[in-house]
Amino acid sequence: MSNASYVHGASEKQLIGQTIGRFFDEACARHGSREALVVRHQGVRLSYAELKHKVDALACSLMRLGLEPGERIGIWSQNNMEWALTQFASAKAGLVLVNINPAYRRSELEYALNKVGCRALVMSPAFKSSNYLEMIGDLTPELGHCEAGLLRSHRLPTLEMVIRMGDERSAGMLNFDDLLRTPTRDELSTLALLGEKLQFDEPINIQFTSGTTGNPKGATLSHHNILNNGYFVAEAIALGEGDRLCIPVPLYHCFGMVMGNLGCLTHGATMVYPVEAFEPLACLQAVAEERCTGLYGVPTMFIAMLDHPQFADFDISSLRTGIMAGSPCPTEVMKRVVDKMNMREVTIAYGMTETSPVSFQSGTDDALERRVSTVGRVQPHCEVKIVDNEGRIVPRGTPGELCTRGYSVMLGYWGDETRTAEAIDKAGWMHTGDLATIDEEGYCKIVGRIKDMVIRGGENLYPREIEEFLYRHPKVLDVQVVGVPDQKYGEELCAWIIVREGETLGAEEVRDFCKGQIAHYKVPRYIKFVDSFPMTVTGKIQKFQIREQMKRELGLDEADTA
C-alpha cells in the first residue's frame, strides 16, 4: 500500500546514549553559572552548579540510608524544589522514582506503594485539603513509636523510610533538609563509581496511569525513555540556552518532569515553577517577572489565564514558545494564545505516559492551520502506524487505532505481564487506544478515543469534530461531547457546555447554530450547561464521568445490542 498510514521519524540528531545522572553532571559542568531552577513560592534560585551540589548531597544521603540501585522511592508532593532534587538525585543513585498523584488518598496511596514495593517515601506534610501526615499516620500507626528510617508496617510491609519535607519534625520520620548535608569525599567517589555502572536501559521512573476501570497501572520508564523524550520535545519548541520555561503543570506527570525538567536540563534552560499548583494569576505574574520565554499548559490553563480579569495588566511579551497538550486543543483557544500571549511558536504535543510521553508534535514553523487542526508530525526516532480492528494498516486519511514503536515505549507495566502484553504486541507496537488519521504529508489528527467514539444508528461519530464546531459559537467558552445510551439508535450525543462569563445561552440556540452547518445526526440531542468538567489533576477531561452522570440524570440504560 503506497499510501499506507505509516510514518517514521528519520533524524540526523542522535539519541542520547547516557543515563540521566551522567547527562546531568555534564550539563551542570557546561552551564554551571546559568540559572537552573527558580521556585517562586519557596524563594529558591539555583544555578546549575548549585543544583548539582544539592542533588549530589541528596543522592549520597539516599545511598547512606542503604537504598540500593533498582529499589523504589516514592514521592508524594506538590511542585517544589524538593521534587526536582529528588528526581535528579534518585536517578544518580539508580533508584526508581515512583510518582504518587498529589490527589491520592489513603487507599490509593496504599495500593501504589505496595504495588511497586516502595522502600522509601518522600512526602510533603500537606497540600490543599490533603493532610499527608495524617493519612500516612493512619496507614502506618507504627510510625509513632519507631526509630526514623526503621519502619516496620503491617499495611505497608516494604516501606522502611518516610522522609518528610518542611521545618517541623514528625515521629518516626527523617527530615528532607537533613539529607542535604555536605557529603564526604568518599561518598562523592562512591556516587561517581555507581554512575559508571548504571545503564541507560534500566528502569528509573514509575508513573501510574488511571483507567476508567480497574486499578492504576504502573508504567515503567527507563533513563533512555524519558531523557531522550525530554530532549526531542524541547528541540521541537526551539528551546535553547538562556530560555526560561514556566512549568505550572504537575511534576508528578510526564508533562512536568519529562517535558519540563528534562527538556530544560538537556538544553541549558531555566526551570521556573510559578506556584505549587496551577493558579492563573500566579502564572501570569511568573511569566512577566521572570521574563519567561516558554510556557506549558493544558487548554483549560490557557483559557483561565486568557480570561483572567487582570490578564491585560501583565507584560508577557517575552513569551515566544511552549506547548499546549494533555487534552484536545480547541482551535479558537490556540488562536488566542498566539495572538494575545505572543506565543507565535507554540506547539501542540500528543502522547501518553506509556510512551514517555510524546509521539507527535507540531513544529514552530508549521502554519497555524496545521497547529490548530493536527498534533503535528511524528517525533524523531519514533514509528507510528494506524490500524483497523483486525490490526491491518489503513490508507492515509482513514481513522484507526494509533500504534507507536521506538525508544519511547515503556519497559512495561510494573508487575503486570498480562496488561503489558495487552498494550505492547509481539512486534513492539504500543497500542494507544486513540483513534487517529495521518494525512499525505504525515500530519496526525486525533479524532477520539476508541472508547469515546459514538456509534449512532451505524454512523461513527467523533466527539472532537463536534466540539471543534461548537467552539465557534461566540458564547461557548468550553465544551465536551460524549455518547449516552439510546434504545433506538444505540447511542445519542450529549454536549456539556461552559458559557462565557456575562453571556446566556439556551439549548435551542445551540441547536439552531448547528442546523445547516453539520449533519443532523451530529447535532447533540442532550445539552447541559455546567460551570466545570470533571478532570484529573493534569487537566484531562474524564468523559466517562460525564457519561455516567448523564445516564443517572436522564434515567438511561445501556442499549440492548445483543
Task: Render pLDDT for 43-75 as a digit per residue (tens, 0 to 9).
Answer: 999 999 999 999 999 999 999 999 999 999 999
CATH number at residue 519: 3.30.300.30
Looking at the fold, whether 173 and 89 belong to one and the same domain comes out as yes
At residue 372, the pLDDT reads 83
At a CB cut-off of 8 Å and minimum separation 6, what does 42 contact?
A: 80, 81
The mean of the pLDDT values for the chain is: 94
Looking at the fold, whether 140 and 283 belong to one and the same domain comes out as no
Residues 6+ apart with CB under 8 A from 249: 255, 256, 260, 278, 296, 297, 298, 301, 326, 538, 539
Full domain range(s) for residue 421 = 213-449
**Quick check: 555 pLDDT over 70?**
yes
Residue ending a domain, choose from 411, 428, 449: 449
Domain stop point among 429, 449, 469 = 449
Of 491, 484, 505, 487, the closest CA to residue 459 belongs to: 491
In a domain, 13, yes or no: no
Among the residue ranges 273-277, 389-393, 450-454, the one predicted with the least confidence is 450-454
Residues 481 and 537 in one domain: yes
Q: Is residue 411 part of a domain?
A: yes
At 255-289, the pLDDT tens digits run 999 999 999 999 999 999 999 999 999 999 999 99
C-alpha cell at 318: 517575552
Q: Are residues 407 and 423 in the same domain?
A: yes
Expressed in percent and rounded to 5, the helix, strand and coil fractions of the chain are 35, 25, 40
pLDDT of 99 over the 80 cut: yes
Q: Is 220 helix (H, G, I), strand (E, B) or coil?
A: strand
pLDDT at residue 89 in the model: 99
Residues 143 and 242 in one domain: no
CA distance 387 to 470: 29
Of the given ranges (135-144, 151-160, 322-331), which has the lowest mean pLDDT? 322-331
Same domain for 263 and 281, yes or no, is yes
Give the 3-state secondary structure of residue 215: coil
**45 belongs to a structural domain:** no
pLDDT at site 2 = 64
Cell numbers for 519, please give them.
449533519
**Which of 338-347, 369-378, 551-560 comes out lowest in average pLDDT?**
551-560
Would residue 2 count as lying in a domain?
Answer: no
310 and 234 fall within a common domain: yes
Q: Does residue 96 carry a pLDDT above 80?
A: yes
Same domain, 406 and 485: no
Report the candidate in 410, 411, 393 with the shortest Cα–Cα distance to residue 402.
393
Whichever domain contains 345, its CATH number is 3.40.50.12780
pLDDT of residue 520: 86
273 and 375 co-located in one domain: yes
pLDDT of residue 66: 98
The pLDDT > 90 percentage for the chain reads: 83
Are the C-beta atoms of residues 480 and 546 closer than 8 Å to each other?
Answer: yes
CA distance 134 to 140: 10
Amino acid making up residue 562: A
> In this structure, what is the dihedral angle of CA atoms 514, 520, 521, 527, given to the nearest 10 degrees?
40
Instruction: Judge whether 273 lies within some domain.
Output: yes
Whether the pLDDT of residue 345 is over 70: the answer is: yes
Closest CA to 294 of 324, 339, 265: 324
Which of residues 167, 198, 229 is at a domain's end? 198
Mean pLDDT of 121-130: 95
Is residue 5 included in any domain, yes or no? no
Domain assignment of residue 401, yes or no: yes
Closest CA to 533 of 361, 369, 303: 303
pLDDT band for position 540 (cuts 50, 70, 90) = confident
Distance between CA 330 and CA 173 in Å, rounded? 46
Residue 19 is assigned to a structural domain of this protein: no
- Same domain for 401 and 357, yes or no, is yes
d(CA 114, CA 156): 6
**Which residue, among 164, 157, 107, 159, has the nearest Cα to 133 in the 3D structure?**
164
CATH number at residue 167: 3.40.50.980
Mean pLDDT of 396-424: 97
**216/231 Cα distance (integer angstroms):** 27
Residue with cell 495588566: 313
CA distance 116 to 156: 11
The per-residue pLDDT for 5 is: 98
pTM: 0.87
Residues 218 and 138 in one domain: no
465/506 same-domain check: yes
State how many domains the chain has: 3
